[in-house]
Chains A and B, each alone.
Chain A
């Protein structure tokens, strides 16, 4: 097995020997086949949920809190109801009667929080929905919402996690504390490691900021209620319907079989469309109450204000042990995570980071004292790189701070401490297994791409122009296919473990090959990659394979954890497709053997035919014949032979159980590698950062469709660059979000993006069905690498320490003005 190593620049490739992988024979898999999805999308013929209409449908607008924290004294909807064309309203009081609070994942105190679909008695973040109105048009619904009179009594506001921790103001009386969850993770022996180290580097505080990937299509759904059957159909853009239903059905006091999720095209998700259950429950109640379909499309400002932010995390009292030769022995840290007003998907973020506990490094002794609190800010939701990105940013910050303070070369210290290729598969201190990869080799490709050997000359040349040039590295992991059993490390009572995904493949009457997926793609090209896999297995072309768009509960091809999240389609999604296609293939061969009166071993499937290998040309059955025989012309088949040509397969990866005492176990299965390298120029007058050279090297094992993989790398990089330089969900003391839409929240535009160079390696995963690792999330490599580059640029100007993950010009300027302020944050104790 060889793996190609190539970069978009320099051209060309080399080959390196590596371990075995279970991959398909060369065929369509591995080729950059242009996507099947594109034809409709470039013509404006995609179907997004907001494109779907129903007769008599009501448009829903939410009445939202203008306060970050307040008591609701009264709500009066009468004026709204008087408006012509208003169909009806719903308030928190009705929700409290008709539904139960959503299930909470945490133990106490967070587990006692009561989270309803609308605010009940109290609002806890700006933009929190307190009521909803349905009307004949979007405009009317908005007008009517303005007529709903809500009297509030403002309460003191918490916007800072450390303040929250004091519990002077408590957000959720039922919990009695703002702490959602806390626990200590202790692996190895960090105290001894620190005591024996030649140097101990202490960093008082690092802050990973709030932002989100803000998909271009906002959230929403069209909900229909069938009064005869009690079933709801949600035409929507939820990206994890399996889990959405687990939240919604008990809250609605109904069975999961009564909720049908349908998705078509989805305009991006990035995790931000996982926590839509509160709004969807309101829509379900309204559809039932008003006996008509209702539709809600979130406004952009509402999405920013009150849907899904990424987790904000403060790292306190970091201590790192370093030996004279640069070997790092371990670290300890207190992590304080701010999940906003309600935990929802949390406190899963309190454990998900542990998939990448040592980052890419050989640290064996690690202690993380983790606490999550509520504040009066928007709730969080998984956001591309969810929870691991924050932790990996910490590990990369540690490396660069240590390098700067102790005078190590940032490349050399990384290579010294990286887990090495020959250690793969590598078990981390907490029992996760890094499946494959060659981090040092990937770094070399990245260094080549940005011309690392000329950095010093370029630094001088920039200095001559009055610019501070900096070079930075971001080494990151994109862990995929997570083990839901890790939730039991937070709450041993939870009955979740493992993971699964389903797909079905059938051969229909005229020879149509039809694939249905349990996944919920939002731009990842699942229709294309699934068709490549099926085509190779049953012997046809991807064009002949019809992969149904989107998800439909009624396809019956989903499983409990179905969805598109956590970098896992390449493993579980395609694993399910492969399994189903192989079952179909087996039956097609059996059937052809029976019809052609030949042994099964003599049958081959290729080019849309089942034929006898090396047989006469007439000894061949087109797929159409196979489909027709089973479905419409089957009388001659023997009674004990019952082919269905319709197979569902559930891919269930094997993890084993986690150890809730030691907090160890296989938390996820595949680890794609990304190494980013950047060259920046900082303008000392303004603090502006210009990214002048950038490379991202990805190793996700076998690439089913390299072009799609590269597209994901581009996208993840753009998100990281935006986060590192501009995007910040900042709040004022009153809890007002200062960047509530694209006017104030600057995401990268075409002119902001540096030219991106990409490189790729393939270290096939020994555990994944196709040798392919999940890779969409990207691990925030760009954030790590730009923080690293900015710190390098500031070195000759006082050596400020980059302590925040977001570095817009004003923050960089402040570091230039007063480097000592950030330097005071760091102390070194040497033997």
Chain B
């Protein structure tokens, strides 16, 4: 029997930068981002795909990066929380999180922002219910979601 492939070179675009990197075949995308690329804004909050702290955009869609192997992202365009603000300027959503006190410990925040950014891209003026549906895969243990929902709705209004 042939030896299985243990590692592979992948090519991904991360926050607009093209990257080629050797990765062990078994490495999770989230660990590739965090440990290999040093993009530690993407967090790990569980080991079952339930918490969404690891949410990033893969070809424009929000995905849980702990539920993918890095090799599965080969050829993809990835955006992480570090790719949201441009030249230090916060997005309207990031600004709204700040103003509405939508974060406490900030551990869920990157994932929340990525899920909510994706929502605002497809639905620029979401209702409270739309927001709750969009972030139902993201657990926050600090805020009770009240101010997160408020911030996303406000960011939608601001973008009007």
Contacts and interface: CB of A to CB of B under 8 A. Distances in A.
24 contacts: A42-B97, A43-B41, A43-B85, A44-B41, A44-B110, A50-B34, A214-B141, A217-B43, A217-B45, A217-B107, A267-B43, A268-B105, A268-B142, A300-B47, A523-B105, A711-B147, A741-B47, A741-B50, A742-B46, A742-B48, A747-B139, A749-B136, A750-B135, A751-B136
Interface in A376-394: none
Given A35-B101, A43-B41, A753 B139 contact: no
Nearest to B133: A751
A51 B40 contact: yes
A641 interface: no
A714 B102 CA distance: 11
Contacts of A741: 46-48, 50
Contact of B145 (A41, A524, A750): A750
Interface string B127-151: 0000111011111111111111100
A218 to B, nearest CB: 8
A139 B143 contact: no
Contacts of B142: 216, 268, 523, 711, 715
Interface string A685-705: 000000000000000000000
Contacts of B48: 300-301, 741-743
A34 B99 contact: yes
B144 A748 contact: yes
A42 B103 contact: yes
A497 B136 CA distance: 46
B150 to A, nearest CB: 10
Contact of A215 (B49, B105, B145): B105
A796 B94 CA distance: 49
Interface in A276-322: 297, 299-301
A748 B138 CA distance: 10
A599 to B, nearest CB: 44
Contacts of B153: none
Contacts of B49: 743
Dominant SS at the B interface? Answer: loop
A37 B106 contact: yes
A741 B44 CA distance: 13
A450 interface: no
Nearest to A745: B50
A48 B84 contact: no
Contact of A750 (B40, B98, B148): B148
A582 B125 CA distance: 48
A758 to B, nearest CB: 8
Interface string B5-46: 000000000000000000010110001001100011111111
B109 interface: yes
Contacts of B41: 43-46
A756 interface: yes
Interface of B: 24, 26-27, 31, 34-35, 39-51, 53, 80-82, 84-85, 90, 94, 97-99, 101, 103-110, 113, 131-133, 135-149
Nearest to A713: B144
Interface string A125-144: 00000000000011100000
B106 A756 contact: no
Contacts of B138: 749-750
Residue of A41, A46, A215 with most partner-chain B CB within 10 A: A41
A707 interface: yes
A522 B135 CA distance: 22
A46 B106 contact: yes
Contacts of A428: none
A718 B98 contact: no
Contacts of A34: 98-99, 101
Kindly state the interface size class of chain A when it binds its partner.
35 or more
Interface string A444-468: 0000000000000000000000000
Contact of B107 (A48, A301, A747): A48
Nearest to B97: A42
B98 A44 contact: no
B45 A714 contact: no
A228 B132 CA distance: 54
A268 B108 CA distance: 10
A46 to B, nearest CB: 5
Nearest to B113: A42
Contact of B82 (A44, A47, A714, A717): A44
Contact of A44 (B45, B81, B133, B149): B81
Contacts of B136: 749-751
9 cross-chain pairs, A with B, having the tightest CB-CB distances, nearest first: A44-B41, A267-B107, A523-B105, A41-B106, A718-B144, A523-B104, A44-B81, A51-B40, A742-B50
B145 A718 contact: yes
B146 A753 contact: yes
A297 B53 CA distance: 15
A38 interface: yes
A213 interface: yes
B151 to A, nearest CB: 10
A34, A216, A707, A711, most chain B CB atoms within 10 A: A216
Contacts of B146: 714, 753, 756
Nearest to B49: A743
A41 B109 contact: yes
A310 to B, nearest CB: 14
A51 B149 CA distance: 28
Nearest to B27: A139
A756 B51 CA distance: 22
A524 B107 contact: no
Contact of A42 (B27, B94, B140): B94
Contacts of B82: 43-45
A268 B103 CA distance: 11
Contacts of B137: 749
B132 A50 contact: no
Contact of A711 (B90, B106, B132, B143): B143
A149 interface: no
A229 to B, nearest CB: 29
